[in-house]
Chains A and B, each alone.
Chain A
């Protein structure tokens, strides 16, 4: 049996040594989108941070393509991360933001920018390469953040309420769009939200956070 792209085994999460959740088990396959639902403050973001390596889990294992990355540094995990805010690097233009990860993965500047241009076309943002990021609308900026995260072809993509800063109309539209793009890219995606409608729009599987493990 081929291993799942992402495999969480008996993960325990907490702040400063105190656990608030333990026994988290979850498997996500390639091209699968899993939405995790939960009220704010329930620890959804901490779960994503742990997968990405921003905070260490208190216990348990994180496997990506069968490889144990529980203690691996962030940049060696093959996990992309998207926050509520796009967090585009303000001193780089749109194309350089998207090319950033490709450059870190050893691509030449030319190749990276070529790929960035392709991704922008794919997103319907052709011609935006040289734009400053503060000239983008909220929806455009979040699309660029998505392109930046997907450009290095991560195995897993964590999306932390990526649409919550947008207005309702745009949120719905972008949710449909992003869902299609994620499937096309083949990444294993975990989408965290407190909005059940958004969860059902985006995901193949919707899980309550409380069903993943034992809250303490």
Chain B
């Protein structure tokens, strides 16, 4: 540890460590014990049942198809958005990210609004929606590598006789392979563990293990079976993520150069190709959202505001107790609580990563929830804290706690780099001026923390607003979150249900985008200024 850091920093890993132990390790342990101690044979029969492996096969096929489509659409977008300088590029880049931050339930409803009449529910619709959500994964991960890749390599290959396509296949593609592998693994896992999209757009052929777990717990009440399914999913997901990580490490050289945007291609056809790709990309992103807004304003009799006005009516809801607008209040309350918990836990873990001791491991351990699916987390939490002797369901804390687990890795990802890029010489200067270690710490990191913690909390709030899997498991029937309310409304026949669901989805989009813009506004300029101050 740097001598100027205060001594208490050595213990900053304790609160996040305790949180992870209680709310991640313990529930997963309960899950594992449920599997192993089951004497009724539910586990064995689940593992031996052809249904499990049939669903696994279907989900893997669906995820593979989603990955291929996301790559086919995402790679041209990555090329255009990350490499060329043109007017509106920053906007295009932000636009590509939009589908990723939209709640999956909203995406599903938007696709239903856009294509509901043309494309029947099933594999095609599910694959399209998954590819849509994951465009940003491909465009961002591959784009970052593509921007680093010097175009001179292609020029050399071309002078050696390679055609444009040949140079792309021989030179560009191999250098992008690690990024493509990494993004493919992430897209596969997202699609393999998808729940909201599969429930709303799928048919029996598109079930995932995640939807299977939900069915086993809520319809069949087969907890050991669900736990076994969750473990199978955990094994597959970890394997894919490890394979992806291994493939992405196998890059031949790792020369990092500052990405420089290049001018548009000089040929007319090249320019046109870039522009057309950008426009098509924008249309792909915006069309489902526009369709969603339209269906919130439309009935069979024409344009209407009645879905919006019925938001406050109890009859329009699904609980018979409160109007749909109540779900917005519920979601906002959960989001606020999640933001508080995740920012506290994640912030301390990020601070712990400043120290040189073993305590920095906590920042790595806190990333584990990323690899555990929402339904697995939800189920584990339910088994651990949702039944006697420790029933926390009535406290309303289970959902924020589960959401915080999902959000903590993201909080660390926002906070830790900002803290680490802060010039540590500042605390030495403060100390030479007479500041005690704690004072010197706040002088150095306080300004950064004040800004970056707002961004991190906003991000955690956005995650909570859109989360569906864990909320389904842990929610109380009388107080659904917005995504849960949307799914329930869609399960009910009638034009009004669809219209009100669309209204809720639009509200969710607006709230999520506002929070994400807050993150962008607060987190990005900070990184820029710290980078300028510390050229090293």
Residue numbers of A with Cβ under 8 A of B are: 15-16, 49, 52-56, 73-75, 77, 79-81, 83, 85, 87, 89-91, 100-101, 104-105, 132-134, 148-149, 151-152, 154
Contacts and interface: CB of A to CB of B under 8 A. Distances in A.
Interface stretch (B168-176, B299-307, B472-480): B168-176
Contacts of B263: 15-16
Contacts of B163: 73, 75
B173 to A, nearest CB: 9
Contacts of B11: none
Interface stretch (B152-160, B347-355, B482-490): B152-160
Most B-side CB within 10 Å, residue of A91, A149, A151: A91
9 contacts: A15-B263, A74-B159, A75-B162, A79-B159, A85-B152, A87-B152, A100-B160, A101-B160, A104-B161
A37 B88 CA distance: 39
Contacts of B167: 75
A97 B166 CA distance: 15
Contacts of A73: 158, 163-164
A197 to B, nearest CB: 26
A172 to B, nearest CB: 25
B155 A104 contact: no
A146 B162 CA distance: 17
B174 A89 contact: yes
A87 B266 contact: no
Contacts of B532: none
Nearest to A83: B152
Interface residues of B, number: 26
B160 A104 contact: yes
B252 interface: yes
Interface of B: 150, 152-153, 155-164, 166-167, 170-171, 174-175, 177, 251-253, 263, 266-267
B252 A100 contact: no
Contacts of B171: 89
A105 B251 CA distance: 28
Contacts of A100: 157, 160, 162, 170
Most B-side CB within 10 Å, residue of A15, A53, A74, A154: A74
A61 B415 CA distance: 56
A77 B163 CA distance: 12
Contact of A91 (B150, B156, B252): B252
A87 B156 contact: yes
A174 to B, nearest CB: 19
Contacts of B267: 56
A15 B266 CA distance: 10
Most A-side CB within 10 Å, residue of B150, B161, B175: B161
A90 B253 contact: yes
Contacts of B156: 81, 83, 87, 148-149
Contacts of B162: 75, 100, 104
Given A49-B155, A54-B155, A104-B160, 16 more contacts: A73-B158, A74-B155, A75-B158, A75-B159, A75-B161, A75-B162, A75-B164, A80-B159, A81-B159, A85-B152, A87-B153, A90-B174, A90-B175, A91-B175, A132-B252, A149-B159
Most A-side CB within 10 Å, residue of B158, B163, B177, B266: B158
Contacts of B159: 52-53, 74-75, 77, 79-81, 101, 149, 154
Contacts of B170: 89, 100
Contacts of B174: 89-91
A49 B159 CA distance: 11
Contact of A152 (B155, B161, B166): B161
Contacts of A151: 160
Contacts of B175: 90-91
Contact of B155 (A81, A85, A133, A134): A81
Nearest to B156: A87
A157 to B, nearest CB: 9
Given A52-B155, A87-B152, A101 B266 contact: no
B271 to A, nearest CB: 11
Nearest to B150: A87
A109 to B, nearest CB: 14
B176 to A, nearest CB: 11
A81 B156 CA distance: 6
Nearest to B173: A91
A101 B150 contact: no
A179 B114 CA distance: 66
A83 to B, nearest CB: 6
A151 B160 CA distance: 9
Most B-side CB within 10 Å, residue of A83, A87, A132: A87
Given A75-B159, A75-B161, A134 B252 contact: yes
Contact of A80 (B160, B164, B166): B160
A105 B157 CA distance: 12
Contacts of A148: 156, 160
A137 to B, nearest CB: 15
A121 to B, nearest CB: 21
A11 B36 CA distance: 79
B152 A104 contact: no
Most B-side CB within 10 Å, residue of A49, A54, A83: A54
Contacts of B164: 73, 75
A99 B467 CA distance: 53
B159 to A, nearest CB: 4
B151 to A, nearest CB: 8
Nearest to A15: B263
Instruction: Across the A-B interface, give the 7 residue pairs with the lowest CB-CB distance, nearest first.
Output: A101-B160, A104-B161, A74-B158, A90-B252, A91-B174, A90-B253, A81-B159
A98 to B, nearest CB: 10
A145 to B, nearest CB: 8
A62 B156 CA distance: 19
A49 B152 CA distance: 10
B157 A134 contact: no
Contacts of A104: 157, 160-162, 166
A49 B135 CA distance: 35
B153 A134 contact: no
A105 B159 CA distance: 11
B263 to A, nearest CB: 6
